[in-house]
Amino acid sequence: MNTIQIEDKNFELMIESDPIKKRILLLAIQIGVDYEDKCPIFIGVLNGSFLFIGDLMKDITIGCEIEFVKVSSYEGDQSTGNVKQLIGLPKNIKGRDIILVEDIVDTGKTLNFLIQVIEKEQPKSINICTLLHKPNATVTSVPVLKYVGFEIPNDFVVGYGLDYKGLGRNIQGIYRAIGKTE
Ligand code: IMP
């Protein structure tokens, strides 16, 4: 299906499921070469990365650990503004090689927050693996994104883990909003 509707918004197909799977295999091969004998910890950022990390792990053949974190935002008072909180950070990060697995790097704010928190735990290294990157939307300077599935324009997208109003995460391909972007 080339167009779908979720609630009030229409979306058109941007990346089919097949090229996503092929790209993920290539990322997994590259990570396997770079991290052979390092036993990295993959940390998936929920909810958006759940399908991506699931498929990536099927193609990863080196020894590794897999953990998940969740970023929750809540409104602080006027001085603190929107405060982010990280839930579920594993305890064994010190001295380890970390691969942070994201669905998408958009403004880059979430990623910068995550890295700040993880760095306090003194890992040996941190690299980023993101399925999607919107370079034109990234407003903060982000660290080098070592493993990127696809660079996409500044469109709002759903599917393959990404949602609109909580819906669409289970759609197999990636679809972009037609008309006004969020
Ligand atoms: P950030 O703007 O880079 O901090 O991205 C924060 C989060 O917003 C991402 O991890 C996604 O969950 C969500 N997000 C950003 N862009 C999109 C999009 O186009 N569709 C769905 N979710 C998005």
Ligand 1 atom closest to the Cα of residue 182 is 19
Q: Extract the tokens encoding 133.
A: 């990157």
- 105 within 8 A of 134, measured Cβ to Cβ: yes
**Per-position b or e across 102-124, b if 16+ CB within 10 A of its CB:** bbbbbebbbbebbbeebeebebe
- Ligand 1 centroid distance, CA of 104 (Å): 6
Residues with Cβ within 8 Å of residue 39, at least 6 apart in sequence: 62, 63, 64, 65, 96, 97
| Whether CATH 3.30.360.10 fits 3-10+18-177 | no
Residues with Cβ within 8 Å of residue 116, at least 6 apart in sequence: none
Domains of the chain, residue spans: 3-10+18-177
pLDDT for the residue numbered 2? 94
Ligand 1 atom closest to the Cα of residue 162 is 21
Mutation probe of ligand 1 site: the residue of 104, 128, 160, 171 with most atoms within 8 A of C-beta: 104
Alpha helices by DSSP H, 11-92: 17-34, 50-59
Intervals of the chain under pLDDT 70:
74-81, 83, 180-182
Ligand 1: list residues with CB < 6 Å.
48, 102-111, 156-158, 162-163
pLDDT for the residue numbered 103? 97
Neighbours of 39 (CB within 10 A): 12
